[in-house]
């Protein structure tokens, strides 16, 4: 399992690219799967800032909140289309629970 601390938007891009490559997917394949354009995926992977995520990260950094992203190289995505909705949900569990 790989753990990356996210401090900038570019860090998210690095995770997306590394996870995609570890699964042997081309950008166009993942873009099709996600129903986004290849150009948008390329922008994400290259760390092209997004206003909303930039503001979110700025607020979290100023409050001393750290985000760590984990992924398992080569692990296939859940083929269940309903799982896509779960990925959009906010995890409200804390380390103290």
pLDDT digits (tens, 9 = 90+) for 1-44: 777 788 788 888 988 999 999 999 999 999 999 999 999 999 99
Instruction: Give exposure, 23-47, as e/b (b: 16+ Cβ within 10 Å).
Output: eeeebeebbeeeeeeeeebeebbeb
Instruction: Give the count of beta carbons closer than 10 Å to the beta carbon of residue 6.
Output: 19
- State how many domains the chain has: 1
Mean pLDDT over 52-69 rounds to 88
Domain membership of residue 18 (yes or no) is yes
Domain membership of residue 41 (yes or no) is yes
pLDDT at 20: 93
Mean pLDDT over 60-89 rounds to 68
Domain that holds residue 63: 2-70
Domain membership of residue 79 (yes or no) is no
Domain membership of residue 17 (yes or no) is yes
pLDDT at 80: 47
DSSP 71: E
Instruction: Provide the whole-model pTM.
Output: 0.65
* Residue 44 belongs to domain with CATH number: 1.10.260.40
Distances (CA, A) of 42 to 3, 62, 76: 22, 28, 20
pLDDT at 40: 92
Measured CA to CA, the distance from residue 71 to residue 96 in angstroms comes to: 22
């Amino acid at each position: 399992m790989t753990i990356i601390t996210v401090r900038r938007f570019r860090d998210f891009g690095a995770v997306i690219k590394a996870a995609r490559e570890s699964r042997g997917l081309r950008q166009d394949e993942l873009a099709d799967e996600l129903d986004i354009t290849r150009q948008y995926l390329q922008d994400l992977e290259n760390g092209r800032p997004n206003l909303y995520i930039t503001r979110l990260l700025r607020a979290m950094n100023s409050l001393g909140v750290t985000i760590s992203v984990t992924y398992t190289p080569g692990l296939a995505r859940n083929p269940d289309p309903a799982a896509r909705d779960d990925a959009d949900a906010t995890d409200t569990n804390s380390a103290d629970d």
